[in-house]
Amino acid sequence: MSEAIVKLENVGIAFDMQLRIGGKRFWALEDVTLELAAGDRLGVIGRNGAGKSTLLRVIAGILAPDRGRISRNKVSCQLLSLAVGFQPHLSGRDNAILSGLMLGLHRRDIERRMPQIIEFSELGDFFDEPISTYSTGMLSRLGFSVAMQVEPDILLIDEVLAVGDAEFREKSAAALRERIHSGCSVVLVSHEERAIRDICTHAIWIEHGRSVMHGRVEAVLEAYAREAHVEPTGAGA
């Protein structure tokens, strides 16, 4: 494995359960250790509530660990977030600028990419109308088109692999797949084993906030299928 660009060592994250002084804390992540090398595509698997989404936000730098260590090389890291900061009364164009700025793009970069955003979102004349007039499908098309303009060194994806109606789903999935295979590093959280198998080179299995296994994607998926899938039926032991 080449040099790690992100390294987590025994990372734990605690959340306050209520807004109250001395309220209970809940450890969403207990003890996670992982390494991500340049060009790695890491799949995160585990049951609901295992801490997968929390892990993505730690890697993104949004959450700081309450215990353990995280080290990150000088790389840009972005959670694929749709419609961040969208304002209903603003036009699609203004929202593209606002959201792009929030995602870390410069104004002139957004203006330069505007033709691609307009074309990809297929909004036509609606692009200069307030987004409060948009349908849900139109909103997700705009959100996706803007989010795709960010080109981080590490792309973090939480389940979103395609958006919109049937036709746009295909188009957005293809665009995202192209981005994923463009050489950046990827961390993907997904419940779909097939997606993980197709996309990822490595996988990490998280259980109750702990990393259980980390390695080649096939080996981890196999172990996960053996353990996790059998257990809920009560047939294990």
Partner 1 sequence: MRLHIVELIFFSAYAELRAERSRSYLGFVWWLLDPALQMGIYYLVFSVVLKSAQSDFVPFLLIGLTVWQWFKSCVSHGGHAIWQNLRVIRQVKLPAAVFPSVQILADTVKFLCILALLLVVLWSCGYRPNAAYAALPAVLIVELIFASAIAYFVAAIMPLLPDLRFVIEQILTMLMFVSGIVIPVHDVASPLRELLMLNPMVEIVEATRGILMRGEWPHWPELLGVTVVSIACYVASLVVISRLTHRYVKLPS
- Binding residues (CB under 8 A) for partner 1: these are 13-19, 57, 60-64, 79, 81, 84-85, 87, 89-90, 94, 97-98, 101-107, 130
Question: Where are any strands of DSSP class E within 117-230?
Answer: 154-158, 185-189, 202-207, 210-216
Six-digit token string for 102: 């929030």
Instruction: Choose between 49 and 104: whose C-beta lies nearer to partner 1.
Output: 104
Provide the minimum distance between the beta carbon of 148 and partner 1 in the complex, in angstroms, as a whole number. 15
Angstrom distance (rounded) from CA 160 to CA 33 = 24
* Residue written as token pair 């200069």: 128
Nearer to partner 1, 54 or 203 (CB): 54
Sign of CA dihedral 222, 34, 156, 11: positive
Quote the least distance from Cβ 144 to partner 1, whole Å: 15
Of 82 and 217, nearer to partner 1 (C-beta) is 82
Question: Closest distance between partner 1 and the C-beta of residue 84, in Å?
Answer: 5
Q: How far is the CB of 181 from partner 1 (least distance, A)?
A: 25
56 touches 29 (CB < 8 A): no
Q: How far is the CB of 129 from partner 1 (least distance, A)?
A: 12
CB nearer to partner 1: pick between 44 and 103: 103
Structural contact between residues 9 and 34, judged by C-beta atoms closer than 8 angstroms = no
Tokens (6 digits) for 164: 């919109």
In this complex, which beta carbon is closest to partner 1, that of residue 123 or of residue 131?
131
Closest approach, Cβ 209 to partner 1, in A, equals 14
Task: Give 4 or 83: the residue with its C-beta nearer to partner 1.
Answer: 83
